[in-house]
A and B are shown apart, each in its own frame.
Chain A
Amino acid sequence: MGGQKKGGARVSEDAEEQSPQRLQAILLADSFATKFRPVTLERPKVLLPIVNVPMIGYTLAWLEYAGIEEVFVFCCAHAIQIIEYLEKSEWYSHPNLVVRTIESHKSISAGDALRYMYEQQAETSQIQGDFVLVSGDTVSNMPLADLIQEHRERKKKDEKAIMTMAIKQSKSSSLTHQSRLGTDQLFIAVDPLTKQLLHYEEDKIDHPRGSVCLDKSLLESNPSVLVSNDMQDCYIDICSPEVLSLFEDNFDYQHLRRHFVKGVLVDDIMGYKIFTHEIHSSYAARIDNFRSYDTVSKDIIQRWTYPYVPDINFSGNRPLKLGRQGIYRACDAVLSRSADVGASSVIGYGTKIGDGVKILNSVIGNGCSIGSNVVIEGSYIWNNVTIEDGCEIRNAIVCDGVKIRAGAVLEPGVVLSFNVVVGRDFVVPAYSKVSLLQQPTTEDSDEELEYADSSSGTADHLSGLNLQMESKASELGPDGAGYIWEVCEGAHDEEWKHSVAPIPKDKLAEITQAIDDDDTDDESVVPTSGELKSDADSINTDMNDPNDDYCYFEKEVEGTVLRAVEENIKVDLVTLEINGLRLSYNMESADCAGATFYSMMKLAVDTPHNSASELYKNAASIITKWKELLGFYVKKIDEQIEVIMKFEEMCQEPPKELGPLFTQILHLLYDKDVLQEDAILRWAEEKAGADETDKVYLKQCETFIQWLKEASEEEDEDDEDEEDDD
């Protein structure tokens, strides 16, 4: 290893030399969301431990490592707790990183927070230049110096480049259309040369099958567009000061992505641009929900976040010792001889583990005591938790101070908030969230107010709690304490999506089933729009497959014609209906002609018949009856040719009943003035150059065409008259 002296230190020093300004960052120590309720009622999200270190510890350690010199920690909910944490930890007295806290209780969204920063800015001008905008729940080890440099250089060239956002490849599940982190699938369109962001869309429920619409003008104004659905937004942005003023100008911007990014992309007047930066080797993820909590924890244990791993003291944590199979163990943890600690587990300081305990894929915090014969799988046990004998815990989150009495069972997806007591032999049902605090009844459904009731002080809640506890204790068994929160109606189905527990097998089977059903349903159900089934890793474009569309259209027309025949509806009405379909599918009138003719012939074939002549009679009667309808669409030669082609196609379809009748019906169409001889002759000309196999019907009606040719030579003038008559 001798003299290899490359490494982060030198890189960041270089960056500092080049840039006169301090590197600054705004850290939003509030998620402005309710995904982590009920836990966040008592503790701010950024202080929740992930692999035994508060999330904000990871973020600050990374910012410091990346060479950031000053961080503004923006606190809203539970600001006091965050400040207390920062005071207790080394961060306030850090030699390289100045940490300043900004408190604001009025802000209810990221937009508000940035507006507040902007107002402060007017007085103090703290933000001197470009800054990094992250939230306090980011776990990353990416180097920022290069990214900031890139942003600055771009800014020098183009004043309008106000933001660079980091993205990372991460494939999402093809079944659930959900990323590893439990967020919705993300569609972005980027100019592959300049890396400018052109389109940003988080897949929502209204696009359940993964279709994406791009503005046509995008394709016009950019020579190439790269659309991808396997990117993950890291929520790490390098922003220029203009971003703050943009928030000030647009007082309705709340969400960083949903409002701000989309707003900038849509707004042509200001012409601001957002760019992307794809990171490859380093790690970045935001803990947005319980699923990402689970995923990121596992990534940390698998050391993707190196050097922010449990065996390194990066944020005042006591380093654990890494053993075989990725087991991190504190040196003073007491394990019974018969305890079986499986792969990828973490056991914190002062924890005691009894006989016959089985632990797998789990994180156990400091000062826990676990009785004998307990099974813990895929769970996150925080600090000072007591688990008595014989409990079973699978895929659950258990917060500080929880007591689980003997024999209790936590089913997958359970979240136990602080100091909850689970009664003896009680089975906590899957996906339930349990807290000592009652669920707020008057919930603001649309806005996400994590702290609405907590900023007034949790102390009040806690003091009144004991009374309530006694009365409602039975919710968790006779000797338990805590409320099981109701799941709001809308979110009920979504619960499994964002929970710590892996998606259950039956649920996956259900989705697979649903997709299969959809595929078969497509025959009968009218889709809302043309769409492309998205493979998880394929690159989508907005080009709809025209064949698919035509099929649907044809089905529709067929249905309409059938109904018209059955119910004997007037021709004008049917025309109106088909015209409507034509508009909604964006079809040519030639398509209408083809489809209408197709439906008519189909009808003829479907009508019971014994012989070819009977079939011809059926066809003749239908054509005679509905020639006006057909006539409406076959005014031009092209359309008539389309009809002939269609007819030819139909004849080849099994059962080839129509085949022998081709000439007869063609003649009939000519007789009934549906087709003109020009159309037939042109078709014949076109076909003359085709393969032998294609010429079957041309040969069949050779005599007819010959006759037509002769007739046309003689009756030139008459033809013209006929056309005028139409």
Chain B
Amino acid sequence: MPDVQSMVAEFVNKLRKRKIEGSQATAKCTVELLRSVISHQRVPHANQAAALIDAVKAVGQQLVAANPVELAVGNVVRRVLHIIREEDLSLTTAAMAGLDLLDASDDDDIDNCKGIGYPAMSAAVVAAAARSTLRPPSLQTLLEGTPESATVPYTSSSGADSESKTADKSSLTRKLKHDVIEGVNQLIQEISGCHEQIAEQAIEHIHQNEVILTLGSSRTVLEFLCAAKEKKRSFRVFVAEGAPRYQGHLLAKELVARGLQTTVITDSAVFAMISRVNMVIIGAHAVMANGGVIGPVGVNMAALAAKKHAVPFVVLAGSHKLCPLYPHNPEVLLNELRSPSELLDFGEFSDCLDFGAGSGSLQVVNPTFDYVPPNLVSLFITDTGGHNPSYMYRLIADYYSADDLVM
């Protein structure tokens, strides 16, 4: 599979050179790459899930190493690993259910499975079952009220139980890959649809005649605000320009083009303006497991100002931005220092930059991101709905399997 290799190399190269920007684009590219990795991976008869996991992990490690700051890459790789594990589990349980079915066919639960038809058996159901074997059930599972029957001892190798049915096994082999690719396709859809999912909730949060403050530029925020506008809500938006990259200017342009009342302010004016603001809405770069947010530089300042004036601080994040790691983890690289030329002109200052003869020397630091601790965040809006910062770890537990946290 040389073409996959070269695709991986090219993507790694792009990540390294920081050619791809924005977590959504990166996440999407990553999933698509992983999908082709999976589809090209030859699967042995025994222990196929492990083979797939290894292949994905190998590629994933390269990708993460290429740009450790882009946490979305790691998130998506972990999501794909999780999908593989879940699908494997579902097939195992299904196979066992099939065996049971041959023996005795009056179990209610099995009937239920049969009703759906086991090839199309919802992965979520089995995943929920699998989850129950690994850890306490998630709130979501409890609310959904999924049956907890499949409490069979978990084995990852599917071959052990089904030696009697070799024909069935070979079909299962193909099935796993097929199901995994199905799952990955769903993930792709989820990532590309996250803006709409989040924007749908806009109407519940933005009310008539409110003033919204945002900082920097985020597609998610743009869609969110526009969705509220489409629903005939009239409100004002303050855009803090987001120095030194001034992406706020671009956002303001877009907003005006879509007919919103927009005001651009400097980042340093945030505190002065916050008393007039009803809500701060920010797009995140990543959301950590403790509910802390990594966002464009200046966000922490805005969050503190909002806290001081008791203004709700709302963070929009697609599910691919949920990172299962904690910010105090030394493995996590939270920030990146970009070129100082975004701040000041090299030519103008070139005489101060000499370390040589002069007494003092000028240093310029240009961090890209800011960290907002969870206690400053009022609400997270993800594609599954609004959540409290303290709930983040639960949400993350639904998306990632504990084995993959350290890759």
Enumerate chain A interface residues (CB-CB to B < 8 A). Answer: 1-9, 61, 64-65, 95-96, 141, 168-171, 173, 180, 230, 280-283, 291, 294-295, 298-299, 302-307, 312-314, 319, 322, 326, 343-344, 361, 378, 502-503, 505, 508, 536
Verify A313–B16 contact, CB threshold 8 A. yes
Beyond A170-B346, A280-B345, A283-B339, whether A4 also contacts B219 by CB under 8 A is yes
**Please, what's the 1-or-0 string for B342-362, where 1 marks a CB less than 8 Å from any CB in chain A?**
100111101101111100000
Decide if B16 touches A303 in the complex (CB within 8 Å). Answer: no
- Mask: chain B, 4-48; 1 = CB below 8 Å from A; 0 = not: 001001100110111111111100000000000000000000000
- CB of A314 within 8 A of CB of B10, answer no
> With contacts A95-B9, A326-B363 known, is A5 near B348, CB below 8 A?
no
B395 within 8 A of A: no
* CB 8 Å contact bits of B228-260 with A (1 = contact, 0 = none): 000000000000000000010010000000000
Interface centre among B10, B20, B22 (most CB of A within 10 A): B22
> Cβ of B120 < 8 Å from any Cβ of A?
no
Tell me how far the C-beta of A199 lies from the nearest C-beta in chain B, rounded to whole angstroms: 20
**What residues on B are CB-neighbors of A295 within 8 Å?**
354-356
A1 pairs with B356, CB closer than 8 A: no
Q: Are A1 and B350 in contact (CB under 8 A)?
A: no
Cα of A6 to Cα of B217 in the assembled complex, Å: 12
B283 located at the interface, meaning its Cβ lies under 8 Å from any Cβ of chain A in the complex: yes
Q: A282-B341, A312-B16 are known contacts. Are A171 and B351 too (CB-CB below 8 A)?
A: yes
Across the interface, do B346 and A7 meet the contact criterion of CB distance under 8 Å? Answer: no
Would A304 and B340 count as touching, CB distance under 8 A?
A: yes
Roughly how many angstroms separate A282 CA and B195 CA in the complex, as a whole number?
Answer: 34
A5 with B341: CB separation less than 8 A: no
Given that A4-B219, A314-B17 are known contacts, is A303 also in contact with B351, CB under 8 Å in the complex? no
Chain A residues within 8 Å of B355, by CB: 294-295, 298, 361, 378, 502
Is the Cβ of A306 less than 8 Å from the Cβ of B351? Answer: no
B219 to chain A, nearest CB (A): 2
Q: Give min CB distance, B156 to chain A, whole Å.
A: 32
Contact check, A1 vs B363: say whether CB atoms are below 8 A apart: no
**A3 pairs with B219, CB closer than 8 A:** yes
Specify which of B16, B17, B222 is in contact with A3 (CB 8 Å cutoff).
Answer: B222
Q: Which of B65, B219, B356, B364 contacts A302 (CB 8 A)?
A: B364
Q: Which residues of B contact A230 (CB under 8 A)?
A: 347
Contact with A along B275-311 (1 / 0, CB 8 A): 0000000010100000000011000000000000000
Take A169-B347, A302-B340 as given contacts and tell me if A1 and B218 are in contact as well, using a CB distance cutoff of 8 Å: yes
Is the beta-carbon distance between A306 and B347 smaller than 8 angstroms? no
14 sampled A-B residue pairs with Cβ under 8 A:
A2-B220, A4-B250, A9-B19, A61-B17, A96-B13, A169-B348, A171-B350, A180-B350, A281-B341, A291-B356, A294-B355, A304-B339, A304-B340, A378-B355
B335 to chain A, nearest CB (A): 9
Nearest chain B residue, comparing its CB with the CB of A6 = B21
Complex interface: chain A residues within 8 A of B338 (CB): 303, 306
In the bound complex, do residue A8 and residue B19 qualify as a contact, i.e. CB atoms below 8 Å apart? yes
Chain B residues with CB under 8 Å of chain A are 6, 9-10, 13-14, 16-25, 65-66, 195, 216-222, 247, 250, 283, 285, 295-296, 337-342, 345-348, 350-351, 353-357, 363-364, 366
Residues of chain A contacted by B339 (CB below 8 angstroms): 141, 283, 303-306
Chain A residue, CB-CB nearest to B349: A171
* Bound CA span A4–B23, Å: 9
Contact A96/B19 with A169-B348, A282-B341 known, Cβ cut-off 8 Å: no
- Residues of B contacting A508 with CB < 8 Å? 357
Given A1-B22, A2-B23 in contact, is the A303-B14 Cβ separation under 8 Å? Answer: no
Given the complex of chains A and B, what is the CA–CA distance between A29 and B296 in angstroms? 41
13 further interface pairs, Cβ-Cβ under 8 Å (given A96-B10, A502-B357) = A1-B285, A2-B217, A2-B222, A2-B283, A3-B24, A3-B219, A4-B218, A169-B346, A171-B350, A280-B346, A294-B355, A303-B339, A361-B355
Q: Is the CB of B356 within 8 A of A299?
A: no
Distance A61 CA – B22 CA, assembled complex (angstroms): 22
Residues of A within 8 A of B219 (CB): 2-4
A95-B340 CB under 8 A given contacts A7-B19, A169-B350: no
Cα A568 to Cα B203 with chains together (Å)? 107
A64 CB contacts on chain B under 8 angstroms: 17
- Cβ of B340 and Cβ of A313 under 8 Å apart? no
Measured CB to CB, the closest approach of chain B to A612, in angstroms, equals 57
- How long is the Cα–Cα vector from A505 to B347 in the complex, in angstroms? 25
Q: Is A302 within 8 A of B353, CB to CB? A: yes
Does the CB pair B9–A168 fall under 8 Å? no
A9 to B16, CA, bound (A): 12
Determine if B247 and A4 form an interchain contact, defined as CB atoms under 8 angstroms apart. Answer: yes
Which residues of B have CB within 8 Å of A180?
A: 350-351, 353-354
Which of A141, A281, A314, A505 is the most central at the interface, judged by chain B CB atoms within 10 Å of its CB? A281
The interface residues of chain B lying within 8 Å CB-to-CB of A302 are 340, 353, 363-364
Q: Chain B residues near A294 (CB, 8 Å)?
A: 355-356
Contacts of B23 in A (CB 8 A): 1-2
A10's nearest neighbour on chain B, judged by CB, is B19
Residues of A within 8 A of B20 (CB): 7, 9
A303-B338, A508-B357 known; A3 and B18 CB under 8 Å?
A: no
- Cα distance, A141 to B340, chains bound together (Å): 13
CB distance from B395 to the nearest CB of A (A): 19
A580 to chain B, nearest CB (A): 44
Q: Closest B residue to A168 by CB, please name it.
A: B347
Question: What are the residues of chain A within 8 A of B221 when measuring CB–CB?
Answer: 2
Query: Nearest 5 CB-CB pairs, A to B?
Result: A3-B219, A169-B347, A2-B218, A502-B356, A306-B339
B16's partner among A5, A141, A314 (CB-CB below 8 A) is: A314
Residues on B with C-beta less than 8 A from A303 are 337-340, 366
Residue of A nearest to B366 (CB): A303
Given contacts A2-B219, A4-B219, A313-B66, whether A307 and B25 have CB atoms under 8 Å apart is: no
Which residues of A sit under 8 angstroms from B13, Cβ to Cβ?
A: 95-96
Q: How far is the CB of A407 from chain B (nearest CB, A)?
A: 27
Output the nearest chain B residue to A395 by Cβ-Cβ distance: B356
Which of A2, A291, A312, A536 contacts B351, CB < 8 Å?
A: A536
Most-contacted residue by chain A among B18, B337, B347, B366 (CB, 10 A): B347
CB pair B216–A1 under 8 Å, yes or no, is: yes
* Residue of B whose beta carbon sits closest to that of A284: B346
Q: In whole angstroms, how far apart are the Cα atoms of A171 and B25 in the complex? A: 40
Please give, as numbers and ranges, the residues of chain B lying within 8 Å of A96 by CB-CB distance. Answer: 10, 13
Bound complex: CA A288 to CA B347 (Å):
19
Given the complex of chains A and B, what is the CA–CA distance between A168 and B341 in angstroms? 13
Bound-complex Cα distance A304 to B342 (A): 9
CB of A1 within 8 A of CB of B345, answer no
Contact A503 B351 (CB under 8 A): no
Closest to A282 in B: B341
**Nearest-neighbor residue (CB-CB) of A378 within chain B:** B355
Chain A residues whose CB sits within 8 angstroms of the CB of B295 once the complex forms: 1
Q: Is the CB of A4 within 8 A of B357?
A: no
Q: Smallest CB–CB gap between B13 and chain A, Å? A: 7
Report B-chain residues with C-beta under 8 Å of the C-beta of A361: 355
Q: Given A1-B218, A170-B346, A180-B354, are A95 and B22 also a contact pair (CB < 8 Å)?
A: no
State A466–B339 Cα separation when bound (angstroms): 47
A343 / chain B contacts, CB cutoff of 8 Å: 363
Tell me, rounded to whole Å, the shortest Cβ–Cβ distance linking A468 to chain B: 36
List the B residue with the shortest CB-CB distance to A331: B330
Partner of A322, one of B220, B222, B337, B347: B337
